[in-house]
Amino acid sequence: MRSGGLARSAVLFAACGSAFAQVFDYPSKPVHVVVPYPPGGATDAVGRIVMPKLGERLGTTFPVENRSGAGGTLGTEIVAKAPADGYMLALVNGSHAVNSALHRKLSYDAVYDFSPVTLLLSGPALLVVHTSVHAKNVRELIALAKANPGKLHYASAGSGTPPHLAAELFKSLAGVNMVHVPYKGNAAAFGDLVAGQVAVSFQSVATALPQVKAEKLRALAVTSARRSAVLPELPTVAESGVRGYEATSWYGLLAPSGTSSSITGKLNQELVQIVRLPELAERFREQGLEPVGNTPGEFTKFLHEEIAKWRKVVAASGMKAE
């Protein structure tokens, strides 16, 4: 009996020692970072700025792999079903929460099938209109929309994308009726906005600001709860009369559920420092993004809140995934 107990203890000790060694040596080989969106987009750019720095600090490579498809759910599912050893991660954006609200039968749970590492960056979008629109601020836009119900058209990168949700939240809280014009990607949507084929859109600071400066578009407000450091003179949508409005762009890192907290903690510690490096923080602020770098627990809470918010918007609008 005694020898059996000692044998079991030895096996347990060996298993614990192996797990400790795995965490202690992590990472001992390349870590694959899945971006579940096409190359060239904002999330892809964030990954290609941040991950080389992470590789330098941890002594290996963190190659970014674009696994796009099904609105971001294809690549995300790959990571959800990957081994929980820290060698495959997902770099996601706000679509991660939107997809959970939009799709009733996802093959994964947006929170419970992952071990959140950190919310890397967050920033506002711009509520912009074509310069032909007779509205110089949000209140005037609301008045114009109410006087012309169903006549103002707004563009998005497609049904269920964050810009679509941002506009639907605006419609709901402002009590206006604007018509959605979905495009297959943001390039076409933005091109038609600049050309005046559509009147309104919610666009990233990096995308819209050059055209605002060229006086081809007019920025009315930022969508965050606080004003942007890049455009401090521009009010928020909320302070412009749409109480409770907030819709931000964000980027975060996820590991598969069950990944050791020692591994996610190690990644978190490095990434929090990386996004706050002066040279990187300045590059991100030029794009309208602010470094966040919160704890895994804080990121988990944030995901719950985002999913709950967009689920209400989806239900109120009646939108369905394409």
Chain centroid offset of residue 206 CA: 15
Angle at 122 between CA 100 and CA 58, to 5 degrees: 95
Angle at 245 between CA 242 and CA 249, to 5 degrees: 140
Give the global pTM.
0.85
Angle at 185 between CA 230 and CA 229, to 5 degrees: 5
pLDDT of 49: 96
Read off the amino acid at residue 48: R
CATH topology match: 27-123+248-317 vs 124-240: yes
First to last CA, the chain: 63
pLDDT of 23: 57
pLDDT of 143: 98
* Alpha carbon distance 17, 87 (integer Å): 20
* Alpha carbon distance 132, 215 (integer Å): 11
State what percent of residues in the chain have pLDDT above 70.
92
* Alpha carbon distance 144, 134 (integer Å): 8
Query: 1-58 pLDDT, tens per residue?
Result: 444 445 544 444 444 444 444 557 899 999 999 999 888 888 999 999 999 999 999 9
Pick the closest to residue 245 from 127, 143, 144, 148 (CA basis): 127
Chain centroid offset of residue 143 CA: 31
* Alpha carbon distance 186, 69 (integer Å): 15
User: Where do the domains of the chain lie?
Assistant: 27-123+248-317, 124-240
pLDDT of 22: 52
Helix (H, G, I), strand (E, B) or coil at 129: strand
Does the pLDDT at position 257 exceed 70? Answer: yes
Q: Please compute the mean of the pLDDT values over residues 258-284 and round it to a whole number.
A: 96
Cβ proximity of 299 and 118 under 8 Å: yes
Token pair listed for 296: 């895994």
pLDDT of 6: 53
Query: 292-301 pLDDT, tens per residue?
Result: 999 999 999 9
CATH number of 124-240: 3.40.190.10
DSSP sequence for 60-102: S---EEE---GGGHHHHHHHHTS-SSSSEEEEEETHHHHHHHH
Angle at 175 between CA 171 and CA 179, to 5 degrees: 45
pLDDT of 42: 85
Domain 27-123+248-317 is in which class? alpha beta
Does the pLDDT at position 252 exceed 70? Answer: yes
Highest mean pLDDT among 54-63, 199-208, 284-293: 54-63
* Alpha carbon distance 314, 312 (integer Å): 5
* Alpha carbon distance 152, 219 (integer Å): 16
Token pair listed for 188: 């076409």
* Alpha carbon distance 316, 194 (integer Å): 29
| Cβ burial, residue 305 (10 Å; 0-12/13-18/19+) | exposed
Q: Give the chain's mean pLDDT.
A: 91
Q: What is the CA radius of gyration of the chain?
A: 22
Place of tokens 């709901």: 172
Does the pLDDT at position 225 exceed 80? Answer: yes
